[in-house]
Structure 1
């Protein structure tokens, strides 16, 4: 009698009065009442939230064979029983977030199995989740699919979503994909935010139906509003770059920040990219480093590589080759090939590298270059040419540099030098000058200075002191010390430009201040 009256009061919104009656029946040992008291404590209905009291009463009902109490008890073990007191739990949806680091999957499996066998569709879905996401020793994907399917066929959204995920592991044909998409759609229609997000992904890719970018973006928006951080990232990305929706960079970055702060590494990496790139405003590498670090610490390999490069260049952070190496190694060990190439090049140029590190670096560059990576081919060619971290082999170096020069600017410069100097190949200053000119046209500082020197001396083509002067000025403006010295000498006189001793002295002093010995000697002579 008290139990039925309490149920009516709860429906009428009189939670405090209902709780008193539930508690009275629970003290009499009625399982349903124990279950309801536990739910009241967990949800803060008519009584302050108390995880410990909620757990205690749910457990009492579960011990008596109450199926709903059994699955909630399992969910509490997944959620982490030892979480802070007074914190509510999302027990109706085991797929809304990752399992707690304090999860007890052994206990969760025990109670979820009891609930599943007693006919609880939520328990069946949760058992599928435990068998899919628990420790390796506990995982059983075949059994998980069985329980997901039973739950899905009984109309449970979580079961439909879990079953769709299990189907996705073996969906190859269009029919398989359509079947998977149908279960995702059923879960999405029930309002399950991960399913809404996944339906957006499937709609964007055209899996199980027609591709519809605009519809996908609206699904991302819907799930994002419900707090799904992956959807927040996708919705923010769409707004940032106007994919399927009118662009709104301010709103897009706001959603990306929300997802990043909630722990989504992809969102944090995207924010890092935004600040690292020049847009309407100059790049802010210090801000980029903050977000790259957040993403890298969460396991994002590309962000780890980008953070490593910032430390290597001293951009936005203090230059620290060791810290750069640590982040590049982290990304390289995770299989990021660009990071492997960058780390290999760094190790080969580091006098402190151990023999085993040099061996790894040589193998990594060789494997990447052999697989068609032109950046690796370029690095390998330079190291072979100069004997950096490996035995010098100029003939082999020329082969790799020629291969990479079709696209890689630094390879164009070095291949041009081999031709101009006849290193590992028959000398051809004209062809060498042409390759160096390609690299100079792309803005490479060393190539600008080298081409200017060839123009001054008439190597590989006609002399052109005026053009050489322009190239030296371009390179000097970017800090090239040799170009500064050359400008000083050209303005000093003896070339096809009018002498200007004031300008000559200014450039010679600039070179001298940066350690150029010949410039220091000449400037010293001026002062005597």
Structure 2
């Protein structure tokens, strides 16, 4: 089923698509493909995506190529796939180069390598790994282990787990680099943290005493490396006469499906044997399995592992006890376990403590967030940035806020990316830089951050800071944000529709934002009622909406309201009230109000002017108290 809102979005988007806007055509194709706002129709989806692709829209070209390559929603056609990948690649689409290389394959290794290299140079990690493998095997290029190492490392540093595992193997074998077991363990650990199964098992088998304690263990490593070659049958046989360490690794194999079919029941059985044998890793793994199954006993095993000093268990137990919706909620015990983990420099524990402290004491919350932030916690870095931006719990310092936003943003935190972009946009805490603003805002917008999407739309709508004005792009981004319910974007979308003289759609979006309290939307909706644009002319309704905007301090609304009291449009004549609003608008710098203020004053007596000033002073005092929260 599709919602009324989705259908409205579809109707607006297809209207733009029919005007030939390739971005809109692409969006319509996606909506048909996914059944958003319209009945799912793959034929129509391909039709609109093809139209967009033919107009040079690169994502549409790439998507159309992938459909031809896979045969999804269209008859499989490798030739057409090749053609469209080629057209996207001609516009420097990195993944299109990579897919061209895959299509060339073993039949044309030189051509495949050339495509992989181009995509690798454009930063595609999968292509960088493919280049490394080509240099290793001599596929389409002379073998070169140094080049293989270089490209494998480039992909690993971008976070590709398969490359991180391959790089660990190269360090372990001394392939293209001096042997370095510490570096090997580092990259195994990076890949394993992404649940890349080969790295997880390699790491566990190579360092059964615990990753991170590496120096001086070459004898144990050699033995572990030999044990790594043992098959699952030997492991099962060993388990019959084995110990907790062997049982733990069997549980890991069954949980991850390594060398055996995935079997969580078997995993639980072997973890349980190991946990009863006092293996702390198994106790933690068993607790997690039981928790996923909502089976009893998870808390007991977490407690056992936590008491043995396992930081992950201490954090998990602390968070479990701190959870208000947990039947075993115990605030003080939860805080105690998080403090134990925090003493071992665990950022998650400090953030959990800060979240709890925030409800009772801002000072302790600030300390907790700062500790978590200094340990690299992206969410805590964002919170610390917000504190410096607003002066909550610390002295307000926009430049310090920017430095924390950047640390968080560089870890991919969408809200921090959005806030950092807004700082560059407004020149708050950093020099104004529109290209930098757009770069960070786009990162956040691609993660669905509605505020960032609105800011991008506003930039394209105004063409500020050397960014070319682009109304179709402004519509696309504001529409995304407005559809997500972001009120300022709904207000902006209403203004954009007014510019294109689609007054009915303008009124729809202005009303949405106005009803949710946006002052500019309230004012613009009031003006629409005055002019009868998209709505029936109604001075009473105009007055109602303009009053709401004026009461929020919007100067143009205050100026317009003053004139309405002068002329009696939508309200009874009241020269004193008119002068009050012109005073307020003039103080806010509205040029029209400043011009009308003198005329209004000339028509009033001294007592009337004094009364208007008294009313304006009362309004400003109430408004100031509301802003500081002292409006009782």
Q: TM-score range by the shorter chain?
A: 0.5 to 0.7
CA RMSD for the aligned pairs? Answer: 4.4
- The residue correspondences of 1:444-455 to structure 2 (distance < 5 A) are 444-455=554-565
Q: In the TM superposition, what is the alpha-carbon distance from 1:203 to its structure 2 partner?
A: 2.2
CA contact (8 A) 2:387 2:394 kept: no
Taking the aligned partners of 1:327 and 1:253, their CA distance within structure 2 comes to: 26
Identify the residue that residue 236 of structure 1 maps to in structure 2.
354
- The residue correspondences of 1:16-31 to structure 2 (distance < 5 A) are none
Q: 1:279 to 1:77 in 2, by over 3 A?
A: closer
Identify the residue that residue 14 of structure 1 maps to in structure 2.
none
Q: Which secondary structure state, in structure 2, belongs to the residue aligned with residue 398 of structure 1?
A: helix
**Aligned pair 1:319/2:428, yes or no?**
no
Q: In the TM superposition, what is the alpha-carbon distance from 1:259 to its structure 2 partner?
A: 1.7
Q: 1:120 to 1:211 in 2, by over 3 A?
A: same
CA contact (8 A) 1:465 1:496 kept: no
CA contact (8 A) 1:112 1:124 kept: no
Q: In the TM superposition, what is the alpha-carbon distance from 1:230 to its structure 2 partner?
A: 0.9
Q: In the TM superposition, what is the alpha-carbon distance from 1:498 to its structure 2 partner?
A: 8.6
Q: Deviations over 1:248-291 (max 9, x none)?
A: x3443233222212111111111112122254777432222221
Identify the residue that residue 493 of structure 2 maps to in structure 1.
380
Taking the aligned partners of 1:285 and 1:129, their CA distance within structure 2 comes to: 48
User: Which of 395, 401, 404 pairs up with 2:504?
Assistant: 395
Q: Which secondary structure state, in structure 2, belongs to the residue aligned with residue 155 of structure 1?
A: coil
**Aligned pair 1:302/2:407, yes or no?**
no
Taking the aligned partners of 1:382 and 1:154, their CA distance within structure 2 comes to: 69
Aligned pairs, number:
395
User: Which of 272, 291, 296 pairs up with 2:404?
Assistant: 291
User: Which of 301, 308, 311 pairs up with 1:183?
Assistant: 301
- The residue correspondences of 1:259-270 to structure 2 (distance < 5 A) are 259-270=372-383
Q: 1:211 to 1:75 in 2, by over 3 A?
A: same
- The residue correspondences of 1:183-202 to structure 2 (distance < 5 A) are 183-202=301-320
User: Which of 540, 547, 551 pairs up with 1:430?
Assistant: 540
Q: In the TM superposition, what is the alpha-carbon distance from 1:333 to its structure 2 partner?
A: 1.1
User: Which of 254, 274, 278 pairs up with 1:155?
Assistant: 278
Identify the residue that residue 405 of structure 1 maps to in structure 2.
514
User: Which of 459, 462, 465 pairs up with 1:349?
Assistant: 462
Q: 1:432 to 1:123 in 2, by over 3 A?
A: farther
Larger Rg: 1
Taking the aligned partners of 1:407 and 1:309, their CA distance within structure 2 comes to: 23
CA contact (8 A) 1:304 1:328 kept: yes
Which structure has more relative contact order (CA 8 Å, sep 6+)? It is 1
Q: Deviations over 1:402-444 (max 9, x none)?
A: 2222213232222112112221111112211111111221223
Q: In the TM superposition, what is the alpha-carbon distance from 1:449 to its structure 2 partner?
A: 2.8
Q: Deviations over 1:279-330 (max 9, x none)?
A: 4777432222221111111221111111222222332223333322222111
Q: 1:412 to 1:240 in 2, by over 3 A?
A: same
CA contact (8 A) 2:370 2:384 kept: yes
Identify the residue that residue 342 of structure 2 maps to in structure 1.
224
Taking the aligned partners of 1:336 and 1:217, their CA distance within structure 2 comes to: 32
TM-score by length of 1: 0.62
- The runs of 5 or more residues in structure 2 that have no matched partner are 1-171, 173-180, 191-206, 215-221, 610-632
Q: Which secondary structure state, in structure 1, belongs to the residue aligned with residue 515 of structure 2?
A: coil
- The runs of 5 or more residues in structure 1 that have no matched partner are 1-58, 60-70, 81-89, 100-106, 501-528
Q: 1:72 to 1:195 in 2, by over 3 A?
A: farther
Taking the aligned partners of 1:472 and 1:142, their CA distance within structure 2 comes to: 75
CA contact (8 A) 1:232 1:258 kept: yes
Q: 1:307 to 1:195 in 2, by over 3 A?
A: same
**Aligned pair 1:335/2:448, yes or no?**
yes
Q: Which secondary structure state, in structure 2, belongs to the residue aligned with residue 405 of structure 1?
A: helix
CA contact (8 A) 1:455 1:462 kept: yes
Taking the aligned partners of 1:480 and 1:436, their CA distance within structure 2 comes to: 15
